[in-house]
Amino acid sequence: METILSYFRDLNDQQQNQFQLLGPLYKEWNQKINVISRKDIDNLYTRHVLHSLSIPAVVRFRSGADILDLGTGGGFPGIPLAILYPEVNFTLIDGTRKKIHVVQEVVEALGLQNVTAHQKRAEELKGKFDFVVSRGVARLSKLVSWSQHLLKRKERHALPNGLLVLKGGDIDSEIKELPAGNYVEVYPINDFFAEAEFEDKYVIYVQR
């Protein structure tokens, strides 16, 4: 938790309390339903929460924006982003029912009014979003294909509407797979956060 506060010093009391609650909530739920690697649960704040919060270093969401977290798993990056941006609307989807159940329970326990979570695939979803975010649940080419029909045409941010993906390792091959016409920017997370676990981890922005 101290790591979060060291980078995000303007959090109000409610946000600090919500971030503080994430640790015990996920420890409790992870004992019932394994949504986070057991070896990672003690590093939740760095490997999951702070990792999710690298996205605002690339684009700051404006009040009233609509954001989709595609393949949210246990709620990342959507839940940390929803705490940081209480005036932004977040839709979290995943194909696994038990994961969405945990997300819904965590959202309720935190009192987040700006989050809805559904067991759905991207192809089944209706609605339009300013950005689609994802924590590397599939290769870039698939994420682009799944998200294209979900992006709004009207733009209100410094970056044009698009896809923001958290990925690690060798990303060059995935970028080369993308169809012509996709614009890509790669942001090393170590440019934002100094922690060693973010070496070779990136925020990848794709705009069609």
- Tens digit of each residue's pLDDT (9 = 90 or more) over 137-153: 899 999 999 999 999 99
State pLDDT tens for residues 118-143: 999 998 898 999 999 999 789 999 99
What's the domain range around 181? 2-207
Burial class (CB within 10 angstroms; exposed 0-12, middle 13-18, buried 19+) of 92: buried
Q: Given a cut of 90, is residue 52 above it in pLDDT?
A: yes
Alpha-carbon span 121 to 1, nearest angstrom: 32
Locate all alpha helices (DSSP H) within the chain, ordered by sequence: 2-7, 13-32, 44, 51-52, 78-84, 97-110, 140-147, 172-177
For residue 169, what pLDDT is reported?
87
When divided into structural domains, the chain yields a total of: 1
Q: What's the mean pLDDT in 15-36? A: 93
For residue 119, what pLDDT is reported?
96
Q: Given a cut of 80, is residue 71 above it in pLDDT?
A: yes
For residue 36, what pLDDT is reported?
85
Give residue 208's identity as a one-letter amino acid code.
R
R_g over Cα of the chain: 16
Q: pTM for the full model? A: 0.96
For residue 34, what pLDDT is reported?
82
Alpha-carbon span 90 to 9, nearest angstrom: 23
CATH number of the structural domain spanning residue 87: 3.40.50.150
CA 52 from chain centre, in angstroms, equals: 5
